[in-house]
C-alpha cells in the first residue's frame, strides 16, 4: 500500500494529534483554500507573501498583527513543528559551553540542540505521582529548592526552560516560577506546545498562558493544541532578556529556505480562528463538552486521571490491571485510536471537533477490554532514578561526538551513553549523551521495556 492510499484510511474515531480531528475542526478559510485545484496554492516565497523572517509581505503583516494583539515584541510562524522553533529558541538563549536549567520532562528537541551546540543541560527532577508515575506540575517551592542546589558561579547559566502543560495536560501556575527566574536575571523559555489554546480562553478556568505570565519565549505547537495542520507552530517573544537579533539569527539558522505556503497559511488561519468571536465560541463550547465527557465517564466509574487540560482524557488502565500499551492495542484494533500509551495510563486527545459519539463508543469498548484482557497484578509505578539536580558526567556535545560502539542495552550497565534514549510519544528522554547508565537508571529503563516495545532488545551507542 502506498502512503497516499493509507492517508484516506477510515478509523471509527481518531483521538490523536493533529487536534483538528482529520479536518473536522480546520478553520473555514483553510478548508476553502484546500478545495481549490490541488497544489494550485503551493507557492514559493513571492514578494507579496515573504517568509517568517521578512520585513514585508503578508506573513510579516500577520505575525505583527498577532504580536500586537497579545502585546509581545514578536511572533514567528514555524513549519517544522514546535520542535524547530524550540531549537531556535534554545540556540538564541545559550552559547556553546553555557548551561540551561531544565526539568526532566523536557522535550527531545531541546536535548538534540544541546548535543548539537554543546549547551550543558542542568536537569532538575519533578515530583511524580505515586499512582501513575506522571511528572507533576512544578511549584515555586520546588523550584526554590532546585535553585538552592545549583552553583550559579560555576559556569554561565544562560536561562531556564519550563514545560507547561505536559503531554498529559498537567499544568501549574507558571507566573511565580517565571518571576523567580527573572529575579536571577535568567530568561525563561516556556514549551507550551500542548497549551496554545489557553492563550485565547481567559474564562473556562483554564491554566493561564505563559505568554500572559511574562515568559520571555513561548513556543506553541499549533497542530497539537490549536487547529493547524501538522508541523505548524508559533514562537512568541517578550522582554529584554533575549536579544532580538539572536533570535532572528537562530530562526534563520534552522529554517528551510522553502517554507510551505500552505503551512504558513495554516499558522495564520488557526490563530485567527481563535481570535474570531464566532469560531472562538464554538471552541469554547467544545471545551465545556470535554469537561462534561470527563464528568460522565467518572460517573460511570471509569478510572480517569484529572489534569488541567480538559481536552486530554487520561485513563488509568493500571487500576484494572491493564497496562496502557495493551489497552492502546485493543482500542486500535477496534478503531478507536488514542494518542499516548504509557505503562499505567492511556491518553486520548479529544481535539476541537464535536466528540459526542465518543462516550458510548468508549464505554462499550472499555467493557469489552475488561472482559477480554489478562489482568496483571505486578503493575507498579517505577521509582524515579533521578537526583533533584543532576548534570551528565561528560559534556553532552562531547559525548555525542565521541567515538562510540553499539551494544545491546542489556550490556550497558555503568557505561556512558553516547545516545539519546527516548520513546515517542511522549518524546521525553530517559537518558542523554554523557550520562552514566548506573544501576538505578539501568533497572528503570529495563523495567519500562516490559511494556514499551520501543525499548525491547534495543541497542545503544556507548563511549
Ligand atoms: C512538550 C512537547 N514539546 C514540544 C513538542 C514538539 O512538538 P512538534 O511535534 O510540534 O514538533 C512535543 C511533541 O511531542 C511535546 O510533547
Angle at 318 between CA 315 and CA 323, to 5 degrees: 90
222 Cβ below 6 A of ligand 1: no
Give the residue carrying C-alpha cell 532538575: 124
> Could you report the per-residue pLDDT of 227-261, keeping only the tens digit for each?
999 999 999 999 999 999 999 999 999 999 999 99
Domain 46-275 indexed as CATH 3.90.1010.10: no
Residue-wise pLDDT for 95-111, tens only, equals: 999 999 999 999 999 99
Query: Is the confidence at residue 160, as pLDDT, over 90?
Result: yes
Encode burial over 151-185: b for 16+ CB neighbours within 10 A, e otherwise. Answer: eeeeeebbbbbbbbbbbbbbbbebeebbebbbeee
Whether ligand 1 lies within 6 angstroms of the CB of 107 is answered as yes
Report d(CA 326, CA 305) in Å as an integer.
18
Ligand 1 and 238: CB distance under 6 A: no
Q: Which residues of 69-97 are buried (b: 16+ CB within 10 A; e: fewer)?
A: ebebebbbbbbbbbbbbbbbbbbbbbeee
Mutate to test the pocket of ligand 1, among 84, 87, 138, 193 (most ligand atoms within 8 A of CB): 193
pLDDT tens-digit readout, 164-219: 999 999 999 999 999 999 999 999 999 999 999 999 998 899 999 999 999 999 99
How confident is residue 378, by pLDDT bands cut at 50, 70 and 90? confident
The reply to whether ligand 1 has any atom less than 6 angstroms from the CB of 112 is no
Over residues 67-94, the mean pLDDT reads 98
Atom of ligand 1 nearest to the CA of 223: 10
Which atom of ligand 1 has the smallest separation from the CA of 166? 1
* Residue of the CA atom closest to atom 7 of ligand 1: 82
**pTM for this entry:** 0.98
How far apart CA 255 and CA 7 sit, in angstroms, is: 27
Closest ligand 1 atom to Cα of 232: 10
Ligand 1 centroid to residue 88 C-alpha, Å: 14
Confidence of residue 450 (pLDDT cuts 50, 70, 90): confident
Model pLDDT, residue 451 = 85
82 CA to centre of ligand 1 in angstroms = 6
- Domain 392-462 in CATH 3.30.420.40: no
Distance 90 CA to ligand 1 centre (A): 14
Using the predicted structure, report yes or no on whether residue 269 has a pLDDT greater than 90. Answer: yes
CA-based radius of gyration for the chain: 22
CA distance linking residue 140 with residue 463, whole number of Å: 38
102: Cα separation from own chain's centroid: 14
Tell me, what's the pLDDT at 54? 97
Q: In 3D, which of 55, 19, 161, 171 has the Cα closest to residue 102?
A: 161
Which atom of ligand 1 sits closest to the CA of residue 80?
11
Pocket mutation for ligand 1, best pick of 18, 134, 165, 194 (most atoms within 8 Å of C-beta): 194
Mean pLDDT on 298-303 = 97
Non-local (6+) Cβ contacts of 107 within 8 A are: 82, 83, 86, 163, 191, 193, 427, 428
Distance 218 CA to ligand 1 centre (A): 13
Q: What is the largest CA-CA distance in the chain?
A: 64
Residues 393 and 14: their CA atoms lie apart, in Å, by 43
> CB of 162 within 8 A of CB of 177?
yes
Give me 376's grid cell. Answer: 496483571
Å from CA of 126 to ligand 1 middle: 19
- Which residues, at least 6 apart from 394, have a Cβ–Cβ distance to it below 8 Å? 402, 416, 433, 434, 463
Distance 193 CA to ligand 1 centre (A): 6
Predicted local distance difference test score (pLDDT) of residue 283: 97
**CA of 424 relative to ligand 1 center, distance in Å:** 10
Residue 268 grid coordinates? 495564520
3-state secondary structure 397-427: HHHHHCCCEEEEHHHCCCCEECCCECCCCCC
Once rounded to an integer, what is the mean pLDDT over residues 358-379? Answer: 93
Per the CB < 8 A criterion, the answer to whether 42 and 262 are in contact is yes
Question: Does residue 81 have its Cβ closer than 6 Å to ligand 1?
Answer: yes
Residue 457: pLDDT band by 50, 70, 90 thresholds? Answer: confident
* φ, ψ at 201 (rounded to 5°): -120, 95
Average pLDDT, the chain: 97
Whole-angstrom Cα distance, residue 270 to residue 83?
18
Domain boundaries, given as residue ranges, for the chain: 46-275, 392-462
Q: Is the CB of 427 under 6 A from ligand 1?
A: yes
**Those residues with Cβ within 8 angstroms of residue 122's Cβ, 6 or more apart along the chain or in another chain:** 99, 100, 101, 102, 150, 157, 389, 390, 391
Strand partners, 341: 346
Give the confidence band of 453 by pLDDT, cuts at 50, 70, 90. confident
250, containing H or E segment: helix 244-254
Distance 340 CA to ligand 1 centre (A): 13
Peptide bond before residue 198 is cis, with ω within 30 degrees of 0? no
Averaged pLDDT, 259-283:
97
List the residue whose alpha carbon is closest to atom 16 of ligand 1: 167
Beta strand residue intervals within 342-416, DSSP E: 346-349, 389-390, 405-408
- The percent of residues above 90 in pLDDT, for the chain, comes to 96
Q: Is ligand 1 within 6 A of the CB of residue 108? A: no
Q: Is the pLDDT of residue 356 over 90?
A: no
**Residue pLDDT, tens place only, 33-58:** 999 999 999 999 999 999 999 999 99
Distance 278 CA to ligand 1 centre (A): 29
pLDDT at res. 152: 96
Amino acid at each position: 500500500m502506498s502512503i497516499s492510499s493509507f492517508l484516506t484510511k477510515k478509523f471509527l474515531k481518531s483521538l490523536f494529534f493533529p487536534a483538528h480531528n482529520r479536518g473536522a475542526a480546520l478553520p473555514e478559510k483553510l478548508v476553502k483554500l484546500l478545495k481549490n485545484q490541488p497544489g494550485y496554492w503551493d507557492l514559493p516565497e513571492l514578494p507579496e507573501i515573504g517568509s517568517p523572517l521578512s520585513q514585508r509581505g503578508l506573513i510579516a503583516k500577520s505575525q505583527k498583527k498577532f504580536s500586537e494583539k497579545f502585546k509581545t515584541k514578536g511572533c514567528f510562524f514555524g513549519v517544522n513543528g514546535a520542535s524547530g522553533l524550540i531549537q531556535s529558541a534554545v540556540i538564541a538563549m545559550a552559547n556553546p559551553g553555557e548551561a540551561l536549567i531544565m526539568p526532566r520532562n523536557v522535550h527531545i528537541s531541546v536535548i538534540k540542540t544541546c548535543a548539537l551546540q554543546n549547551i550543558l543541560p542542568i536537569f532538575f527532577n519533578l515530583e511524580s505521582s505515586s499512582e501513575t508515575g506522571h511528572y507533576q506540575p512544578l511549584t515555586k517551592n520546588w523550584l526554590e529548592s532546585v535553585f538552592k542546589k545549583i552553583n550559579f558561579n560555576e559556569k554561565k547559566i544562560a536561562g531556564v526552560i519550563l514545560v507547561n502543560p505536559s503531554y498529559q495536560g498537567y499544568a501549574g501556575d507558571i507566573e511565580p516560577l517565571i518571576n523567580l527566574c527573572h529575579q536571577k536575571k535568567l530568561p525563561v523559555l516556556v514549551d507550551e506546545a500542548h497549551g496554545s489554546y489557553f492563550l485565547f480562553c481567559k474564562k473556562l478556568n483554564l491554566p493561564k498562558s505563559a505568554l500572559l505570565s511574562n515568559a520571555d519565549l513561548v513556543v506553541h505547537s499549533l497542530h497539537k493544541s490549536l487547529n493547524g495542520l501538522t508541523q505548524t507552530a508559533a514562537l512568541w517573544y517578550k522582554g529584554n532578556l533575549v536579544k532580538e537579533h539572536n533570535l532572528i539569527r537562530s530562526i534563520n539558522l534552522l529554517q528551510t529556505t522553502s517554507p510551505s505556503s500552505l503551512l504558513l497559511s495554516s499558522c495564520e488561519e488557526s490563530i485567527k480562528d481563535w481570535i474570531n468571536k464566532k469560531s472562538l465560541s464554538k471552541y469554547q463550547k467544545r471545551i465545556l463538552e470535554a469537561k462534561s465527557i470527563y464528568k460522565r465517564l467518572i460517573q460511570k466509574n471509569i478510572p480517569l486521571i484529572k489534569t488541567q487540560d480538559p481536552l486530554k482524557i487520561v485513563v488509568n488502565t493500571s487500576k484494572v490491571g491493564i497496562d496502557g500499551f495493551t489497552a492502546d492495542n485493543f482500542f486500535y484494533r477496534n478503531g478507536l485510536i488514542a494518542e499516548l500509551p504509557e505503562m499505567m495510563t492511556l491518553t486520548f486527545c479529544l481535539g476541537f471537533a464535536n466528540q459526542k459519539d465518543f462516550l458510548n463508543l468508549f464505554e462499550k469498548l472499555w467493557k469489552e477490554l475488561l472482559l477480554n484482557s489478562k489482568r496483571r497484578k505486578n503493575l507498579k509505578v517505577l521509582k524515579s532514578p533521578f537526583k533533584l539536580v543532576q548534570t551528565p558526567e561528560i559534556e553532552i556535545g562531547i559525548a555525542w561526538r565521541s567515538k562510540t560502539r553499539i551494544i545491546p542495552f542489556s550490556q550497558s550497565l555503568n557505561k556512558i551513553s553516547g545516545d539519546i534514549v527516548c520513546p515517542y510519544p511522549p518524546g521525553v528522554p530517559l537518558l542523554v549523551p554523557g550520562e552514566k547508565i548506573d544501576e538505578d537508571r539501568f533497572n528503570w529503563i529495563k523495567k519500562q521495556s516490559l511494556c514499551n516495545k520501543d525499548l525491547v532488545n534495543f541497542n545503544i551507542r556507548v563511549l
